Amino acid sequence: MTTKSGLRPDLRQRHVRMIALGGIIGASLFIGSGAVIHTVGPAAVLSYALGGLLVVLVMRMLGEMATAAPSLGSFMEYARDALGGWAGFTIGWLYWYFWVGVVAFEAVAGAKILQGWIPGVPQWVFSLALMLLLTATNLASARSFGETEFWLASVKVATIVVFLVLGLLFVLGLWPGGHFSVGNIGLDGFVPHGGFSVVHGVVIVIFSYFGAEIVTIAAAESDQPETAVRKATSTIVWRVIVFYVGSVTLLVMITPWREIPSETSPFAAAFGRFGVPAASTIVSAVVLTAALSVLNSGLYTASRMLFALRRHGWAPAWISDTNARGVPWKAILASTSVGYVAVVMSYVSPDKIFYFIINSAGAVALFVYAIICGSQLRMRRTLEASSPEKLKLRMWGYPWLSWVTLALTLAVVASMLFVDEDARSQLYLSLISLAVILGVYALIRRRSGSAPRRTRP
């Protein structure tokens, strides 16, 4: 049996649930949270909360559209239908470009961990090995991807749950060696670097949340897409509060914030305080599984978005080929080939080509969120007029809260100009990527004489 897209609904509900649960937890939480805390202070809790709030609102808007019209292309399809071909083309290719860059970045990050354990092997060997391993997993079947992601995500989720339990006992003085340390969150002031540092923190952490939307793409290959999307988007509030805000809150309670490491994992340091033996090695292994999870999901997501783009004539015809197991194998190989090139560039030209690939997709998440907001505002009005029964999951406070979400997204984009040089560089390079994609769409439309028409694979 195949879906309307031509792919097989091989993902089970437990796969989709774990993708939703673990998709929001990336290696950046385990490693990057220390740097955010040093940038903002204990008020990093607010940065994670505000960034999480924006993601929750965007996901609610996306959930409304996805339950009304489940589709493999997800927000790419909604943007095309609601805003026009330019929006679908732009968001689809931007999203694909983002994930092929992330795939390379995670392969390099995973290789660094492995080389720390086996220093005699060059990093590039590990990077390519990880890429080949996860490419094979994705080529096998959608169920193979789902099963791999289920277990990789399970490790992340289990680690966070254990940390939350032990951390709570520790700060309440109920764990051996611990004492009541809740007051650490206000040590030296809650916002020691001023209010704008919280905004700076939001700019940094917002990208940690990107990936929550993957579930709306994966659900299209499940046997119950509407149910899967509705559950995933309805539970994202507590996932953000517990996994991110809860974890960071405990980190600044367990250890005075100036003593939290910024270059290494603050979670490893916390587990060390709990008395867990080989805490650093254990957390490194968890970070490796997190990197592999993102790499695995990135390959899947990029290939499905590329496959969906072909349905409208926005990608080469051969992209639509599937094998006997209903896997778009050419779309997978096309996506991974860019990842392989990027991995090679990370060693040949790390400060130029690889830097450009990674940073030119830096603000793409916010561009995607903005287009999702615009799509929901238009699509909701259309559904209410024609098919109100399809609105099984509704955005809160429509239309005012939808407009507020769009304004907040654009405000975060604008703030990238003022926080630091890295953020400005990412924004400028991302705007170049956006301009190139819009230019390509204009050329395609001019050559065809009209917007590209939908073609079935």
Please report the pLDDT score of residue 139 as a whole number. 94
CB burial of 43-58 (b: ≥16 within 10 Å; e: otherwise) equals: bbbbbbbbbbbbbbbb
Please report the pLDDT score of residue 338 as a whole number. 86
Q: Which residue has the tokens 């073609």?
A: 455
Please report the pLDDT score of residue 36 as a whole number. 93
Residues of the chain with pLDDT under 70: 1-6, 23, 449-457
Q: Which residues contact 455 (CB under 8 A, 6 or more apart)?
A: 310, 311, 312, 313
DSSP three-state, residue 180: strand
CB-side neighbour CA atoms (13 Å) of 444: 18
**How does pLDDT run across 95-137, given as a tens digit for each residue?**
999 999 888 888 988 999 999 999 989 888 999 999 999 999 9
Residue type for position 300: Y
Residue type for position 31: I
Nearest to 366 by CA among 209, 244, 197, 200: 209
Please, where are the H alpha helices in 118-207? 123-140, 142-171, 196-205
Please report the pLDDT score of residue 13 as a whole number. 84
Q: How is domain 13-440 classified at the architecture level of CATH?
A: Up-down Bundle (1.20)
**CB of 113 within 8 A of CB of 288?**
yes
Please report the pLDDT score of residue 449 as a whole number. 67
Please report the pLDDT score of residue 3 as a whole number. 55
Q: Which residues contact 153 (CB under 8 A, 6 or more apart)?
A: 18, 19, 21, 22, 23, 25, 293
Please report the pLDDT score of residue 218 as a whole number. 86
Classify residue 192 by burial, with Cβ atoms within 10 Å: 0-12, 13-18, 19+: middle
Q: Which two tokens stand for residue 374?
A: 């615009």
**CB of 74 within 8 A of CB of 216?**
yes
**Rounded CA gap, 199 and 40, in Å?**
9
**How does pLDDT run across 176-209, given as a tens digit for each residue?**
988 999 999 998 889 999 999 999 999 989 888 8
Please report the pLDDT score of residue 270 as a whole number. 95
Please report the pLDDT score of residue 6 as a whole number. 66
| CA distances (Å), origin 227, targets 240, 378, 392 | 20, 24, 10
